Structure 1
Amino acid sequence: MPGENLTRDEARTRKSLIHTHSYDIALDLTRGADVFRSTTTVRFSAEAGSSTFIDAITHTVHAITLNGAGIPVTAADGTRVILNDLADENELVIDADMRYTNTGEGLHRFVDPVDGEVYLYSQFEVPDSRRVFAVFEQPDLKATFQFTVTAPAEWQVVSNSPTPEAVKLGDGSARWEFAPTPVISSYITAIVAGPYDVVRSELTSRDGRTIPLGVFARKSLFAHLDADYIFEKTRQGFAFYEEKFDRPYPFDKYDQLFVPEFNAGAMENAGAVTFVETYVFRSKVTDAIKERRVVTILHELAHMWFGDLVTMKWWNDLWLNESFAEWASTIATAEATEWTEAWTTFQAMEKSWAYKQDQLPSTHPVVATINDLEDVQVNFDGITYAKGGSVLKQLVAWVGEEAFFAGVAAYFAKHAFSNTELADLLSELEVTSGRDLSEWSEKWLETAGVNTLYPEITTDPDGTITDFAIRQTAPDDYPTLRPHRLAVGFYSLGDGRLVRTDRIELDIDGARTEVGELVGRARPDLILLNDDDLAYAKIRLDDASLHVAIEHLSTIESPLARALVWGSAWDATRDAETPAREYVDLVLGNIAAETESTTLRTTLTQLVLASQQYVAPEHRADTLQRVADGLWKLAQQASPGSDAQFQFVKFFASAASAPGHLDAIAALRDGSEKLEGLEIDTDLSWELLIALAAGGRASDAEIDAALAADNTASGQQFAVQARAARPAVEDKRAAWSSIIDEDTLPNTLVAHTAAGFRRVQDPSVLDEFVDAYFDVLLGIWNSRSYKIAEHVALGLYPSPLASEQLRDATETWLEANAEPAALRRLVVENLAGVERALAAQARDAH
C-alpha cells in the first residue's frame, strides 16, 4: 500500500504541467478469473519537454507508446509509468493486464454461490480507477471517458453513458462501444458487468429531456428488488433537486445498481450509481433501514450536481461533496417523500456520529488537511459527512434557506463541469444572502471541536424568569467559541404529555449570551436549548428540566425534541458526567414509547454499549442480566408485528448472555415459542443463531445446516460471523487466522469474521490477542489493500476488553510508531474508545 500513495504536492506539480483532454479505454473481460486486458489511450497537452507520471496499478505491461514512439515497459513500476520529454500535445497508449480484486476496490469480481454466475463492478473513489486503466488519478484533471468493453454476450454492461447495442463477436462474447462522457473526474467513472437483471423506466427532466432509468440486481436476488418504490423515490428526488438547484439533471441517463460485496453504502458514479446489496431487502428490516435507504438514494442523486457536475480540486474539500449531499438528501427526504421526520433521524444518527467523531483526538476541521491519498482514505468520517452536514444546516439557518439555494444554483451555473474550492461556494452565498461568511467559515469550517451549551436560569419565588442566559464552552484543546443560530423551546405538562408551548429563535455568540426576551415569562416544566436542532452543539439541561425530562421523556410530543433529550443524556454518559447505570435505567424506563425507528435503533445500540463497556466491571454482570431481561420483556409487550417488537428482539439477541436468555432465543428460532406478529425469517434466524453461537450453543453442524439452507452471499457472511462469535479461544484463534494468516477472504467475509471475533460475553477470551494485534498490525498495513488493512486495524482491535492492559499496550505501540499517519489515526481512535470506557467505568463505580 505505501508505494501506491500520491501526495498533494505531486498532484499540484502534475496539474501545473499537463491538461487532460480524453481517454479511450478498451477493456477485455473475457480473459479468465484473475486478470483482464486494459488498453488506455489518453490525450493531453503538456509543457513541452517536461516529465511527469501516469498512475496504473498493473499486473503485466505489454506495451507503452508515447506520440507514436515505443517506451520500454520498465518505465512502469506496477504503480506508475514515468513519462519524459512530453510534447505540447500528446497521445499515450498503455496496453496492460490488470487484476480483478475481491476487496471492493478497482474492478471487483464476485461469483454467486447460488448459481455460479460472475458479477463485476467498479469502485474507484478515492484512487482506484488506476486499478482498471492508466489515468492521471486526481480530481482536478478532468477529461472525457470513452469505454469499449468486451464481455460475454449474455451480460449486461453498464457505464456512465447510455448502454449501446452490443456487437456480437461470434465466440460467445460481444463488444459494447459507449459514447464519450461529459468532462468528469476519473473517480466517478464506472463499469458494471455481469448477468444482472434490470427493470427499466424513465422520467422527464425539467428541460424536456427523457431520462432513461434502470434498477439492477443479481439474478438470485432480483425477486426481492422493489424497483417501483426505488423509481418513485428517484422521481421525487429529481423533481426536488431540479427545482431547488435551478438546473436540470446534468447527465443522459440514471442507472442504480445493487452490487455484491460493496464496501460503502453507495457510490455516486455519474449516471451509474452503485449500492450495497443489503438495500435489497430479502428479509424484514427495520423502518430505520428503510428510511436510510431513501436517504442514501437521495444522497447519491444530490451528488450528480454536487460532486459530479462540480468537483473539488483536491480531497481537502471532500466535505463539500459529502456534507452537501448529506444535508440535501435529508431535506429532500423530509420535504419530498413520506419520511417527514428525516431531521429527527438526522439528529439521532448523524449528529451522534458527528459529536462522537469530533471528540476524538483525531478530530479535524471540516476543511481537513489532506497531504496524500492515505489521509483522505481515513477521512470518510463523521466530520466529513455528519458534522459537515450539521454545519450546513446551521449555515442555512444563518443565511436563510431561500438565499442558500439561490447561492447554490449560482455556483452550479458558474462552475459546471469544472473544479472548485470552498471559497467559490461561499462567495456565491455571500452575494445571495448579503452576509459576510469569512468569520463564519473560519470558526465553523477551519477549526475543530464541538461546543457545549448550558442554560443559566434564575426565577423568583412564583416561578417567573428573572434572568436567562446561554453559556457556551469549548474543550481546552479546541477553544473556539462559535456563533450559533438556534431556538429555545418551552415545554409544559398537560394531559400526561410534554408539549411545546413557546419557541424563540436567536443568534448567540461568545461565552455568554443574555436572552432578555425570556425575562418576565413564567418558567415552563422543560426548557430545551437548540430546539428543532438548528445548531451543531452538545446541549445540557438545567437541573429542573433534566428531572422533568427523565421523568417524562416518553411523553414528549415532538419526536425531534425527544431525540435531542436522548442525545443529551447519551452525551453526558459518554462524557462520564452521568453514571452508565443511570442511563440504562433511563432507556429501559422510557424506550417502549419511542415511535421513531432510528431513534430506537440508535438508543438501543448505545444501551448495549453502555452495559457492556461503560458500567463498572463489578456491576456489569448484573446490568447485562437486567438489560437482556428488560429487552425481552419489552419484546413480549410490544405491539405485534411492530417495528419496536422487531428491534427489541434483535437487541435482546445481541445482549443475551444468561442461560435463560439463550433458552428463549433457541425457542424463538425453532418455533417452540412464538411472539404474535413476529416472523422468524432468514436473516432474523441467522441473528438468533449468531446469538446462540456467542453463548456457546451452536455447533459446527448447526451452522453448516443453516448455511446449506441459505447458501447465498448473505448466508456465507452470517456463517463466518457465527463461527467467529463462539466463545472458545480456539474459535477466536481460527477467526484470527482466517484473516491474518491467509489473504484470500473477500472484503465482506473479513468484515463479518471480525464482527464475530469481537462478539464476546467474557472479554478475557481476547486477552491473548492484545500483543498479537500489535505484532501484525504494521505488516498488514504494508502488505494488504487499504480496505482490508482498515478492517484489520478496526475490526480485530480487542475493544471489548476496555481495560487498562489494552490502553497501555496501545499507548506503547503509538510511542514506538510515528508513521504511517493514516494507520496511527485509526489506532488513536481505538485508544480513545478505551479511555472513554475507563472514565465511564470510574464514574459508574462512584
Structure 2
Amino acid sequence: MPGTNLTREEAQQRAKLLTVDSYEVELDLSGAQGLGASPAEPGDGTYPSVTTVRFRSAEAGAGTFIDLVAPAVHEVVLNGRSLDVAAVFRDARITLDHLVAGANELRVVADCAYTNTGEGLHRFVDPVDQQTYLYTQFEVPDARRVFASFEQPDLKATFRFTVKAPEGWTVISNSPTPERPADGVWRFEPTPRISTYITALIVGPYHSVHSSYEKDGRTVPLGIYCRPSLAGFLDADAIFDVTRQGFDWFEEKFDYAYPFAKYDQLFVPEFNAGAMENAGAVTIRDQYVFRSKVTDAAYETRAETILHELAHMWFGDLVTMEWWNDLWLNESFATYTSIACQAYAEGSKWPHAWTTFANSMKTWAYRQDQLPSTHPIMADIRDLDDVLVNFDGITYAKGASVLKQLVAYVGMDAFFQGVQAYFKAHAFGNTRLSDLLGALEKTSGRDLTAWSKAWLETAGINVLRPEVETDANGVITSFAVRQEAPALPAGAKGEPTLRPHRIAIGLYELQDGRLVRADRIELDIDGGLTEVPELVGRARPAVFLLNDDDLSYAKVRLDEESLATVTAHLGDFAESLPRALCWASAWDMTRDGELATRDYLALVLSGIGKESDIGVVQSLHRQVKLAVELYAAPAWREEGLAAWTEATLEHLRAAGPGSDHQLAWARAFAATARTEGQLTYLAALLSGAAEIEGLAVDTELRWAFLERLAATGTADEAAVEAELKRDPTAAGERHAATARAARPTAEAKAAAWASVVEGDALPNAVQEAVIGGFVQSDQRELLAPYTEKYFAVVKEVWETRSHEIAQQIAVGLYPALQVSPRTLAATDAWLASAEPNAALRRLVSESRAGVERALKAQAADAAAASA
C-alpha cells in the first residue's frame, strides 16, 4: 500500500522527541459474525476503533505523526483540540502539530478493516461450524491496521484493551483474560511496557485447554486454544510438556523469571508464518494441530517453534531491539536457544536437534548467502520495506549458526552469564547489539570487536578444506586447514572475508562396517592456512571431517581419500550429526555444480536406506526431487526421475509397517509418481483397492495422493469434489484448490492465474494453495506462456496488494521452472525497464539467481554424462 513506509531516520527523530506512556484501545467487534460466510468479498466489513494515547514531548510546539491504516477516520482530538481529519490524515499517517512540552493526549476514532491476508486483524469463517474466528498479526508494521500507534519497536508503552464481542465468544490478549462479562465487553488490565508489534487480540468461539507452570511458589497460567473443529486432534498434553520443559531450561539459563502474567498459545487459521511471539499470547499456525499421522520430524519442528516463541518472551519482548537492524539478533537468539534447549534439556525427546539444524536450517542459510541479495547478518535496514523482505535465511539460520560459533568461541557458561546480565540491565527496555556484546565481553574476557566485524558486518560464506600429507606408511607428515573466501555473487555488496572459526576436526575409522569417531580436536583457525601440528605423526584415519559437531558456519570439503570413503559409507556413520554434515556437503556441492546431479542421486540411493534420522530422510527426499527436476541435464531428467520414483516405491514396500519411514516414503512416491503403472497403483492406494501393511491412508495422505493424480490428469474435477465432500474443512478447501490448479490443462491454469492475479478475493492461505498447484515441474510447456504474463503484471501487483499477498505472487509465480537463457534475458529486461522498488527488485533478482544456478548445474550434469 503506497504511503505506508517508515524510514529509520524518521523513527529516530520521533523517538528522540517522544516518550509514550500508555494506550487505551477500544474495539467493537460485535458485528464480526454477521458479515457473511465468505470474508473474501471486497468491502466485507469494518469495525469501530477508538485509540487514546498518552505521551510526552521533549519540545513545545514540535510536530510529529502517528500511524494508522484505516478506511475512515472520524475524529482526531489532540490535547482537547479537534483536528481537521481531511487535513491531517493522509498516507497512513495522522499529522500532529503544536505539541505541548511534557504530557500530551491524543484520541483517534476510526473505522478499521478486517483482512483476509494475515495482516492486521484477520477474519476467518470455519466452513465446519460457520463461526467467525479473528486474530491479530502485527509484526512488522501492522498494529496500525487496528489502532492508531507510534509504529516502531523503541516507543514502548502500556496497553489497555477493551473489546466488545458477540455473545459466547472469548477474547484473549496479552494480559490475563477477565471473567466472561455479562455485557459482552471484555476489559483487560494494562500490559507491562511493550512494543506495539507484540500486542495481540484473538477473538472468537475458540476451544481451550488450561494448565499451569509452577516453580518456587510462582504459578504461571498456561492456555492452549484452537477452533472447535480441530479440538479432537489437539494433543494438549504434549504441547504443555514441551512448554514446561522450555520454562525450566530458559529460566535456569537466563536467571530471570518468566516476565509476563500468563502464557497462552493459540493455534489460529490462515497464519502466514510459523508463529508470532506476542507477549503472553503466542499465535501459531494451526497446521501444527495434526489432523493425520505425521513423522517425528514434524513433532520436532513444532517443538522448536514452541520453544522459539517462548525464548522470545525474554529476548525480543522483555528486551527489545531499538530498530530493525537487530532483527537478526532477535530471531537468531530465539532459534539458537530453542534448538539448544531441545539438544541439552533434561528429558528432551530430540537430543539430535543439532542434526536437524545442520540439515535444514543451515542449508537454507547457505542458499540465501549465495544469492545476489546476500547481506551482512547485521543488515542495514533503511526502512520498513527493507525489513519486510529480510525475514530470510541469513536473519534466522546464518545468525543462529554464528551464535553457535560465538558460544563455542566464548564458552557456553560465559555466554549465558552475559545473557543474564543483559536481561537484568535492560528489562522492558530497548537495546542495540553492542549492549549484548559488551555483556559477553565482561563475562568471557574475550574482545569481540574483531569477531563482530568479521562475522556480523560482512557477507558471504567461507570454504574450509583439509590439506594432508602422509608418508608411505600412512603416517601424517603435515596437516592444515585451508580457508577460502569465494567471490560474492554478482550484484552483492561487500568484499570476500576470511574469518576466525572455532571448529572441531573429527577423525573417523571404519569398525565392523561402521564409521566411528576415534578422536576429536578442537581449535581456532584464522587466515588462509592454519597448521594443525597435533595431527602430525599419527596414522591417517579413514575420514577427516572438518567442522565436526557443526560449531562454525562454513562450507566444508573433504580430501580425496576421505571423500572416497564417505561416498562408499555415508550411511555408515554411527552418529546422526556427521552423517547430516556429509549429506549437507554433498547437497551443497550439487547446487554448486561440483557434484553432478546423477552422481548425487546415486549417492543418496546408496546411503539413504541406512539413514535412521527421519528428518534427514525427509530432507533428502526434498533435495533429490529438486535436484533431478531443476539441476539434472534436461535430456537425462526423465531417466533420473524414473530411477528415483522406482526407488521410493521399493523403500515404501520395504519400510516397517506403521513406521515414520513408511509414511515418508509414501509421500515421496506420491510426489513423483509418473508412469501409467505407478499412477494406477497410487489410485488403487487412494481407493483402497491396494493396501500396504501398516500404511494408514488418512485424510492428509489421501490429499497428497489425489493432488498428484490431478496434476497428471489421472483424477478429474469430480474426484476432487468427492474428496472435498469427505473433508469439508478449511484444510480440505485448500487441498482442493491446489488439486484444481494442478490439473494439466490450459483451462485450469488460466482459471488459477485469474483467481490469483486478476482477482484479489482469495484469502492468503487459499492463494498460497492455488500457487502451489499452479506450478508443476512436469508442466513446463503448459506454463511457458506465463513468463511474459508474469513480467507484465508483477509490478502492478506489488504496488496494489498487501505485502504478504504481493510477496506470495512475486516469488511463487516467477517462472523458475523455465530454466533457460531466455528467462534470464526476460528478467534482466524487466529489471532494467520496470524500475521496481528495492524490495521487489530483491525478490525477483533472487529468483533469477535460482535459474542461473540451475543452468550451471545442468551444464555440470551434462558434462559428467559425456566424461
| 1:209 aligned residue (211, 218, 225) | 218
Hey, what's the Cα distance between the residues in 1 that align with 2:847 and 2:787? 12
Which runs of 5 or more residues in structure 1 are unaligned? none
Hey, what's the Cα distance between the residues in 1 that align with 2:359 and 2:801? 35
**1:485 aligns to 2:497 (yes or no):** no
Match of 1:475 in 2: 486
**1:198 aligns to 2:208 (yes or no):** yes
**1:282 aligns to 2:295 (yes or no):** no
**1:429 aligns to 2:443 (yes or no):** no
Hey, what's the Cα distance between the residues in 2 that align with 1:354 and 1:204? 38
Match of 2:40 in 1: none
Match of 2:248 in 1: 239
**1:87 aligns to 2:100 (yes or no):** yes
Hey, what's the Cα distance between the residues in 1 that align with 2:84 and 2:683? 65
Q: Contact 1:465 / 1:522 at 8 angstroms: preserved in 2?
A: yes
**1:545 aligns to 2:548 (yes or no):** no
**1:20 aligns to 2:34 (yes or no):** no
Hey, what's the Cα distance between the residues in 2 that align with 1:785 and 1:599? 36
Q: Contact 1:727 / 1:760 at 8 angstroms: preserved in 2?
A: no
Match of 1:267 in 2: 276
Match of 2:134 in 1: 120
Match of 1:56 in 2: 68
Q: Residue 5 of structure 2 aligns to which amino acid in structure 1?
A: N
Question: Shift in Å at residue 429 of structure 1?
Answer: 0.1
For residue 504 of structure 2, give the secondary structure of its aligned residue in structure 1: strand
Which runs of 5 or more residues in structure 2 are unaligned? 36-44, 489-494
Hey, what's the Cα distance between the residues in 2 that align with 1:148 and 1:603? 50
Show the 5 A alignment for 1:519-668: 519-668=536-685
Q: Contact 1:640 / 1:676 at 8 angstroms: preserved in 2?
A: yes
Hey, what's the Cα distance between the residues in 1 that align with 2:835 and 2:758? 26
Q: Contact 1:5 / 1:373 at 8 angstroms: preserved in 2?
A: yes
Hey, what's the Cα distance between the residues in 2 that align with 1:539 and 1:292? 26
Question: Shift in Å at residue 153 of structure 1?
Answer: 2.4
Q: Contact 1:144 / 1:182 at 8 angstroms: preserved in 2?
A: yes
**1:817 aligns to 2:834 (yes or no):** yes
Hey, what's the Cα distance between the residues in 1 that align with 2:675 and 2:822? 27
Q: Which moved more, 1:77-86 or 1:144-153?
A: 77-86
Hey, what's the Cα distance between the residues in 2 that align with 1:248 and 1:629? 54
Hey, what's the Cα distance between the residues in 1 that align with 2:408 and 2:296? 29
Match of 2:491 in 1: none
Question: Shift in Å at residue 205 of structure 1?
Answer: 4.1
Question: Shift in Å at residue 285 of structure 1?
Answer: 1.2
Match of 1:318 in 2: 327
Q: State TM-score, norm by structure 2.
A: 0.96
Hey, what's the Cα distance between the residues in 2 that align with 1:746 and 1:602? 29
| 2:367 aligned residue (337, 342, 356) | 356
Hey, what's the Cα distance between the residues in 2 that align with 1:136 and 1:812? 40
Question: Shift in Å at residue 335 of structure 1?
Answer: 1.7
Deviations 1:131-163 (A, max 9, x none): 000000000000000000100121110000000
Q: Residue 405 of structure 1 aligns to which amino acid in structure 2?
A: F
Question: Shift in Å at residue 675 of structure 1?
Answer: 1.3
Deviations 1:280-329 (A, max 9, x none): 01101121111000001000000000000000000010011100000000
Q: Residue 192 of structure 1 aligns to which amino acid in structure 2?
A: I
Question: Shift in Å at residue 798 of structure 1?
Answer: 2.0
For residue 801 of structure 1, give the secondary structure of its aligned residue in structure 2: coil
Match of 1:309 in 2: 318
Question: Shift in Å at residue 14 of structure 1?
Answer: 1.0
Show the 5 A alignment for 1:508-519: 508-519=525-536
Hey, what's the Cα distance between the residues in 2 that align with 1:719 and 1:167? 40
Q: Contact 2:2 / 2:91 at 8 angstroms: preserved in 1?
A: no
**1:188 aligns to 2:201 (yes or no):** no
Match of 2:90 in 1: 77
Hey, what's the Cα distance between the residues in 2 that align with 1:721 and 1:50? 54
Show the 5 A alignment for 1:220-231: 220-231=229-240
Q: State TM-score, norm by structure 1.
A: 0.99
Hey, what's the Cα distance between the residues in 2 that align with 1:10 and 1:226? 46
For residue 492 of structure 1, give the secondary structure of its aligned residue in structure 2: strand
Hey, what's the Cα distance between the residues in 2 that align with 1:799 and 1:598? 26
Hey, what's the Cα distance between the residues in 2 that align with 1:494 and 1:6? 61
| 1:413 aligned residue (413, 420, 424) | 424
| 1:377 aligned residue (383, 388, 408) | 388
Question: Shift in Å at residue 637 of structure 1?
Answer: 1.2
Q: Contact 2:31 / 2:166 at 8 angstroms: preserved in 1?
A: no
Match of 2:688 in 1: 671
Question: Shift in Å at residue 414 of structure 1?
Answer: 0.3
Q: Residue 532 of structure 2 aligns to which amino acid in structure 1?
A: V
Q: Contact 1:727 / 1:761 at 8 angstroms: preserved in 2?
A: no
**1:731 aligns to 2:748 (yes or no):** yes
Q: Contact 1:313 / 1:419 at 8 angstroms: preserved in 2?
A: yes
For residue 817 of structure 2, give the secondary structure of its aligned residue in structure 1: helix
Give me the CA root mean square deviation: 0.9
Question: Shift in Å at residue 589 of structure 1?
Answer: 1.5
| 1:401 aligned residue (389, 412, 433) | 412
Q: Residue 25 of structure 2 aligns to which amino acid in structure 1?
A: I
Match of 1:3 in 2: 3
Q: Which moved more, 1:333-342 or 1:758-767?
A: 758-767
Q: Contact 2:140 / 2:388 at 8 angstroms: preserved in 1?
A: yes
Q: Contact 2:629 / 2:777 at 8 angstroms: preserved in 1?
A: no
Deviations 1:551-594 (A, max 9, x none): 01111111000000001101110000111110011111111111
Deviations 1:470-515 (A, max 9, x none): 0011122341000000000011111111111111000000111001
Match of 2:857 in 1: 840
Q: Contact 2:4 / 2:91 at 8 angstroms: preserved in 1?
A: no
For residue 157 of structure 1, give the secondary structure of its aligned residue in structure 2: strand
**1:219 aligns to 2:228 (yes or no):** yes
Question: Shift in Å at residue 595 of structure 1?
Answer: 1.2
Hey, what's the Cα distance between the residues in 2 that align with 1:313 and 1:781? 28
| 2:159 aligned residue (145, 162, 166) | 145
Question: Shift in Å at residue 78 of structure 1?
Answer: 5.5
Question: Shift in Å at residue 728 of structure 1?
Answer: 1.5
Hey, what's the Cα distance between the residues in 1 that align with 2:822 and 2:689? 44
Hey, what's the Cα distance between the residues in 2 that align with 1:730 and 1:632? 32
Deviations 1:518-559 (A, max 9, x none): 011100111100111001001001111111101011111110
For residue 720 of structure 2, give the secondary structure of its aligned residue in structure 1: helix
Hey, what's the Cα distance between the residues in 1 that align with 2:308 and 2:526? 32
Q: Contact 1:694 / 1:760 at 8 angstroms: preserved in 2?
A: no
Match of 2:308 in 1: 299
For residue 137 of structure 1, give the secondary structure of its aligned residue in structure 2: coil
Q: Contact 2:795 / 2:836 at 8 angstroms: preserved in 1?
A: no
Question: Shift in Å at residue 729 of structure 1?
Answer: 2.2
Hey, what's the Cα distance between the residues in 2 that align with 1:464 and 1:667? 59
For residue 221 of structure 1, give the secondary structure of its aligned residue in structure 2: helix
Deviations 1:429-460 (A, max 9, x none): 00000000000000000101010100011000
Q: Residue 218 of structure 2 aligns to which amino acid in structure 1?
A: R
Match of 1:749 in 2: 766
Hey, what's the Cα distance between the residues in 2 that align with 1:818 and 1:773? 15
Hey, what's the Cα distance between the residues in 1 that align with 2:228 and 2:785? 44
Aligned length: 841
Hey, what's the Cα distance between the residues in 2 that align with 1:596 and 1:77? 55
Hey, what's the Cα distance between the residues in 2 that align with 1:725 and 1:512? 52
| 2:720 aligned residue (703, 711, 716) | 703
Match of 2:171 in 1: 157
| 1:392 aligned residue (403, 411, 421) | 403
Question: Shift in Å at residue 168 of structure 1?
Answer: 1.9
Hey, what's the Cα distance between the residues in 1 that align with 2:186 and 2:388? 33
Hey, what's the Cα distance between the residues in 2 that align with 1:352 and 1:79? 39
Hey, what's the Cα distance between the residues in 2 that align with 1:629 and 1:518? 45
Hey, what's the Cα distance between the residues in 2 that align with 1:423 and 1:142? 20
| 1:175 aligned residue (162, 175, 185) | 185
Q: Residue 26 of structure 2 aligns to which amino acid in structure 1?
A: A
Q: Contact 1:51 / 1:83 at 8 angstroms: preserved in 2?
A: yes
